[in-house]
Amino acid sequence: MKTHVMKSIKQISIVAFSGVLFGIGMVISGMADPAKVIGFLDITGSWDPSLAFVMGGALAVFVPAYLLLIKPRSESVFGDEIVCPTSKTIDKKLVGGSALFGIGWGLLGVCPGPAVASLFTGNVQVLLFIAAMLVGSFTAKRVVRG
């Protein structure tokens, strides 16, 4: 029992550290600022390309790490099986979900990761977004179940 508790504490610690690191990155990079995101997405107005460098930097770190450390593994550092999506089907659900995500991101300048990272700022727009996201998530699960 003691080793199970220690493993759980280790997992929670790693997950918490990763989440805090991600959140700090979102805030420092400006991804948690809806005005900056809208400035990046507004290519016909006063476009702010700085977030492209953030995304490029993230890819420069992630792609080699994925190819060298994640892809060759069959299980995570916690011993769980790594499951990657294999479907290449582009259906109505995928296109509809992608469109809904893109429209929401474009209109509000907020998407799930940065919204959670800035949850404790007290920004009413972010709080409403999180509430709507949770309602949408629970609704989608019920619709999929039938």
Q: Determine the pLDDT at residue 4.
A: 63
Q: How far apart are CA 118 and CA 106, in angstroms?
A: 18
Q: What pLDDT digit, counting tens, does each position of 52-98 carry?
A: 999 999 999 999 999 998 888 888 878 888 888 888 999 998 999 89
What average pLDDT does range 30-52 have in this prediction? 91
* Residue 95 to residues 88, 91, 100, 102, 143, Cα–Cα distance (Å): 13, 6, 9, 10, 17
Q: How far apart are CA 25 and CA 36, in angstroms?
A: 15
81 φ, ψ to 5°? -65, 135
Quote the pTM value: 0.73
Confidence of residue 50 (pLDDT cuts 50, 70, 90): very high
The first and second tokens of residue 107, run together, are 């209109």
